[in-house]
Amino acid sequence: MQGCRLAEDKLGGVTAPPDGPLWSLPIPQAPLAFVDLEMTGLDVDHDRVVEVCVERFVGAACVASVSSVVHPGVRIGGAAEVHGIGPAEVAGAPPFAAIAGSILAVLDGAILVAHAASWDVKFLRAEFARTGQPVEIESWLDTLILARRAFAFRSYSLDALCRELGIERGRAHRAESDVRALRELFGRCVAVLQPVSARDLWEVRIGDRRARQAIVDACEAAAKHRAPVVLTYRAARRAAESMSMVVIEVRSDLDPPQVVGYQLPGRGRRQLRADRILHVEPAPALP
């Protein structure tokens, strides 16, 4: 599965995407597998998946999908109060092993996207391992992380984000509805962050003080030419703001890197954390 393996490191529990063309593609060209699972509980060693939806998109086109209630082989328990899936609904459903091949086909060669994605990754890994065909899922995109960088809200649960952004929620905590909401949320994050590639979007690493390389490169180019640019910046607990600025230096020796310049028109000095810059674009020409 190119683009999908599981590993741990200090960067938010996810290793950097592998080299190759997949993660270098612009988002509209990248195959994205939007995933949501419902489970009997949160203990990956004992709980099981009871519903799965995976939709593979390239741009606006859904090119493959699988959606099914899953017989967990264990008691559902109190989790039924969250997702509403009870014993009667799973009685005639296939076990995960019966649909594992279809899920794998949709995921294969795609970039996994989920909300609080580490949970989905852990349960997918466990379920595939139980079928005797373990898969590796190493690098993914997490709309929880992207939304925390793009927006200044009090809560970043999928329910809260849908309310704040006016996204149609559908039936909450059911896999198909959650995937539809997830795709809309992903699109809103992309619109704010304006990534140049899937790898650029992965480099949005909340809590890691990591600046996106594309942002650093754009600021260094601006410092070299001293041409005014428009930076969109979001300080902690504040909404994003756009400012015209002449960049004079990028302090890559600092952690995180700092972008130094003066703001137009008043020419007041600014020093901005590069990891909080959402995007950079040339300033419009003066009339």
Q: Domain 22-202's class?
A: alpha beta
Between CA 144 and CA 155 the distance in angstroms is 10
Q: What is the share, in percent, of the chain residues with pLDDT greater than 70?
A: 94
pTM of the model: 0.92
Mean of pLDDT values over 167-176? 90
Give backbone dihedrals phi and psi of 236, rounded to 5 degrees, phi first. -55, 130
Which residues, other chains included, contact 171 with Cβ-Cβ below 8 Å and sequence gap of 6+?
177
Query: Looking at the domain that runs over 213-282, which CATH code has it been given?
Result: 2.30.30
Tokens 């939806």 correspond to what residue? 53
pLDDT tens profile 193-249: 999 999 999 999 988 888 999 999 999 999 999 999 999 999 998 999 999 999 999
pLDDT of residue 185: 98
Helix (H) or strand (E) holding 229: strand 229-233
pLDDT tens profile 64-81: 999 999 999 988 877 777
Tokens 């009667």 correspond to what residue? 88
pLDDT tens profile 77-121: 777 777 878 888 899 999 999 999 999 999 999 999 999 999 999
Identity of the amino acid at 29: Q
Give backbone dihedrals phi and psi of 260, rounded to 5 degrees, phi first. -115, 135
Mean pLDDT of the chain: 91
pLDDT tens profile 191-203: 999 999 999 999 9
Give the sign of the dihedral formed by CA 239, CA 242, CA 245, CA 249. Answer: positive
Mean of pLDDT values over 255-282? 94
The tokens for 273 are: 């954390």
Confidence of residue 155 (pLDDT cuts 50, 70, 90): very high
Mean of pLDDT values over 244-272? 95
pLDDT tens profile 3-60: 444 433 333 446 789 999 999 999 999 999 999 999 998 899 999 999 999 999 999 9
Domain layout of the chain by residue ranges: 22-202, 213-282
pLDDT tens profile 131-141: 999 998 889 99
Q: What is the share, in percent, of the chain residues with pLDDT greater than 90?
A: 78
